[in-house]
Amino acid sequence: DGGITQSPKYLFRKEGQNVTLSCEQNLNHDAMYWYRQDPGQGLRLIYYSQIVNDFQKGDIAEGYSVSREKKESFPLTVTSAQKNPTAFYLCASSMGRAGGNTQYFGPGTRLTVL
Amino acid sequence: DQQVKQNSPSLSVQEGRISILNCDYTNSMFDYFLWYKKYPAEGPTFLISISSIKDKNEDGRFTVFLNKSAKHLSLHIVPSQPGDSAVYFCAASGVYSGGGADGLTFGKGTHLIIQP
C-alpha cells in the first residue's frame, strides 16, 4: 500500500526549541517537497529535493533546514530562527518532470508553538 | 505578488448542478496546471491536471479547461455531489531550473459548498 506518511499528526513546541518533522514515502518518487499552510492561505513552498543528497530553497526557507540522505525520507527541521512556526506542514512527492510534476501529499503535521 | 489567483473565496452550488471554479495566473512560464481538493486538517488530494499543450482534460465528473491567451483555467464538476464540499486549490508548475521538478505555486483556494 504505497503512500506518504508524516509524523506526528500534532506537535507542540516551546518557543526557542528546534523540532524535526518526519516525512517518508514508498512511492519510489525522486522528488520531495515541504509546504506550509496558514489559515485562509494557499500552500507555500519551503524546500524541495529533486534527488538524494540535493535540495533547494523554496519561497520561504528562512528558519528551516532539511536533509535528503535517503530517497524515501525528507525530514524538515523548524529552527528557533523561524519567527512564526505555528502552521500546518505538508510533505509531498512526485516522479519529477518526467511524470508531469504531479505531487502527492501526506496527511500533514500541525505544529503549535507555545 | 500572487502568481496564481483564485478570486472567489467561496462558492455555493445546488446538488446536481454544475460547479465551476476559476483560476487566473500571471506567469507565462507556467506549463502544467493542477487542481487539488482539500478537507480541513488533511493533505490535499490530487484531482486533475492539464498540460499547456492542451486546452481540455476530462476525468469522470471533472473537466479542466485552459485558456492560455487569457491565462485562465477552470474546473467543472458535473453533477455536483455533497461529497464535493471542500476547499479546491489551483496550482501551477513551470520550467525554471533546467527542467527539474520544481515546487508548485498555489492559489489561496475556493471553498465549494454543495447545498442539498
Chain segment A9-59, per-residue pLDDT in tens: 999 999 989 999 999 999 999 999 999 999 888 899 999 998 899 999 998
**Distance from the B103 Cα atom to the nearest Cα atom in chain A, whole angstroms:** 6
Residue B30 CB burial class (10 angstroms; 0-12, 13-18, ≥19): buried
List CB contacts of B104: < 8 A, sequence separation 6 or more: A33, A43, A45, A101, A103, B34, B91, B92, B93
Q: Are strands A64-66 and A76-78 parallel, antiparallel or unpaired?
A: antiparallel
User: What's the pLDDT score for residue A96?
Assistant: 75
List CB contacts of A94: < 8 A, sequence separation 6 or more: A29, A30, A31, A33, A101, A102, A103, A104, B101
User: What's the pLDDT score for residue B101?
Assistant: 61
The beta-carbon neighbor of A42 closest among B43, B95, B107 is B107
A110·B41 Cβ contact <8 A: yes
Residue A98, phi-psi category: left (phi > 0), alpha (psi -120 to 50), beta (remainder): alpha
- Sign of the dihedral through C-alpha A60, A62, A63, A67: positive
C-alpha cell at B60: 469522470
The beta-carbon neighbor of B102 closest among A41, A48, A104 is A48
Q: What band does B97 get if pLDDT is binned at 50, 70 and 90?
A: very low
A107·B43 Cβ contact <8 A: yes
User: What's the pLDDT score for residue B95?
Assistant: 63
Query: Which residues from B are below 8 Å from A71, CB to CB?
Result: none
Which of B115, B59, B41 lies closest to B85, judged by CA?
B115
Q: Which CATH class is domain B4-115?
A: mainly beta
Query: Which residues from A are below 8 Å from B42, CB to CB?
Result: 107-108
Determine which of A28-32, A98-102, B11-15 has the lowest per-residue pLDDT on average: A98-102
User: What's the pLDDT score for residue A46?
Assistant: 95
Does B49 contact A at CB distance below 8 Å?
A: yes
For residues B51, A94, A76 and A40, what is the CA-based torsion angle, rounded to 10 degrees?
Answer: 40
